Chains A and B, each alone.
Chain A
Amino acid sequence: DTEVTQTPKHLVMGMTNKKSLKCEQHMGHRAMYWYKQKAKKPPELMFVYSYEKLSINESVPSRFSPECPNSSLLNLHLHALQPEDSALYLCASSHAVVEKLFFGSGTQLSVL
């Protein structure tokens, strides 16, 4: 299994909603990542987890809250988002930090 699975694929939420994005991998990878990607732009790193501990937070606003319940799962909790947070959110994993990254297909998020 060489897949990173992200759910949901699409999400529409209001600015007062609370929602969560989920990411799962069964490749035994110990590093997991959240990226944000706007249209026609490169992915921007948000968070890195290494061995289930948060190792990098790229000064992301607190309305985004990551969680790594175990080595296979990564969540991104969303609360009180702004319309400018609308983007494709990509999860990735790798054996070690900054080795070959395997990306999921992403969650296309729209904030109304």
Chain B
Amino acid sequence: AQSVTQLGSHVSVSEGALVLLRCNYSSSVPPYLFWYVQYPNQGLQLLLKYTSAATLVKGINGFEAEFKKSETSFHLTKPSAHMSDAAEYFCAVSTNPYNQGGKLIFGQGTELSVKP
């Protein structure tokens, strides 16, 4: 069975500081991994995805994530936090990509706060 674990339900950083949101996955097959962001009262928006190509994945809004198979991790980073980055972030892993029974499994989420 596939799963993701997000370490830290809440992360607080100062504006301009490094953002690091942690995600570890469990998968018996090569996983497809995703980071989504959810702003208040909105749906989820894809930040980036890993699909077995480059291990360093660049996404929107200056975010990137590195797939590390040896550590079963897919941590999300941004060099310099902006106030507008305050939101809920979800790591997700897919099961059976492109197959009929595939589905996305979300982590519990990490709320990012950015202090001025």
Q: DSSP majority for the A interface?
A: loop
Docked Cα-Cα span, A52 to B89, in Å, equals 30
B102 close to A98 (CB less than 8 A): yes
A-B contact count (CB 8 A): 62
Beta-carbon nearest neighbor of B6 in chain A: A42
B102 close to A97 (CB less than 8 A): yes
- Interface residue count for B (Cβ, 8 Å)? 27
A95 → chain B closest CB, angstroms:
10
A102 → chain B closest CB, angstroms:
8
Q: In this complex, which of A43, A55, A108 has the most chain B Cβ atoms within 10 angstroms of its Cβ?
A: A43
B43 close to A56 (CB less than 8 A): no
Docked Cα-Cα span, A108 to B108, in Å, equals 20
Q: How large is the interface on A (under 10, 10 to 19, 20 to 34, 35 or more residues)?
A: 20 to 34
Residues of A within 8 A of B32 (CB): 98
Docked Cα-Cα span, A82 to B28, in Å, equals 38
A90-B44, A100-B49 known; 6 other A-B pairs, CB under 8 Å?
A42-B107, A90-B43, A97-B102, A97-B103, A98-B94, A98-B103
